Amino acid sequence: MATITTRGTCSFCGESFSQRGMGRHLIACKARKAAMQEPLGVGRSQPRTTTIYHLKIAGTYLPYYWMHIEIPGDKTLQFLDSFLRDIWLECCGHLSAFIINGVHYMSMRFEDYPEDKDMKVRLHEVLSPGLTFEHQYDFGTTTYLTLKVIGEREGQVIGRDVLHVMARNDPPEQPCDVCGKPARWICSLCLWDWESEETRLCDDCASRHACGEDMLLPVANSPRVGVCGYIG
């Protein structure tokens, strides 16, 4: 299969860039530089000054699902985890973890693993520019994300739950494996069967698919597409 890449749109200037070009663009974007003069977030409260991180987040094995975000350093890993669940991951409340410099920060802690930490850790306590770390959602059928700290800046923030998605991938083109029309369904059985050549399906081909309609999940713009009960 050819390597899939996706483009995305800069939320500041509205221009489209490739997966690889977006990181460089966001550092240079004039519209973003102007936006940085204003506080991040909205509200009537007093702005606070804090470190703000630029993170690139991508599917570890499906890197054509990606995002660039800005997030205040005084927010916790728990806040970042719930954002990732909302936008990409949540199907049925599985466990999740960040792995940062070998330490596991768990959505729930267990007595058998006293060395693990919880997610009530502020980002500025664990992040630094250049750091790459991981997120895992669901320890059965795991979705793996790789996060990289592209940069940090001191800036003003207003409001509590502040996070800005600066850019996100456009939905990748997924042709039907049978006829080549745009796929709308993924067979959750065939996805795990490397012998199956009919995983992505259009409406017509889905209705004739041998595994049955109960196994089909909608194509979603997420690295968890087709997994467990994920419907987007």
Interface positions with Zn ion (CB under 5 A)? 10, 12-13, 29, 91-92, 176, 178-179, 181, 187, 189-190, 202, 205, 211, 228-229
Residues 6 or more apart from 74 whose CB is under 8 A from it? Answer: 48, 50, 51, 122, 123, 124, 157
Nearer to Zn ion, 2 or 92 (CB): 92
Q: Nearest distance from residue 227's CB to Zn ion, in Å?
A: 7
SS3 label, residue 150: strand
Nearer to Zn ion, 48 or 184 (CB): 184
Q: Nearest distance from residue 137's CB to Zn ion, in Å?
A: 9
Nearer to Zn ion, 103 or 228 (CB): 228
Query: How far, in Å, CA of 155 to CA of 7, rounded?
Result: 28
Q: Nearest distance from residue 173's CB to Zn ion, in Å?
A: 14
Q: Nearest distance from residue 23's CB to Zn ion, in Å?
A: 12
Residues 6 or more apart from 28 whose CB is under 8 A from it? Answer: none
Q: Nearest distance from residue 167's CB to Zn ion, in Å?
A: 8
8 A C-beta contact, residue 122 and residue 79: no
Nearer to Zn ion, 111 or 214 (CB): 214
Nearer to Zn ion, 12 or 64 (CB): 12
- Token pair for 226: 């087709």
8 A C-beta contact, residue 228 and residue 91: yes
8 A C-beta contact, residue 144 and residue 61: yes
Phi/psi of residue 83, each to 5°?
-60, -45
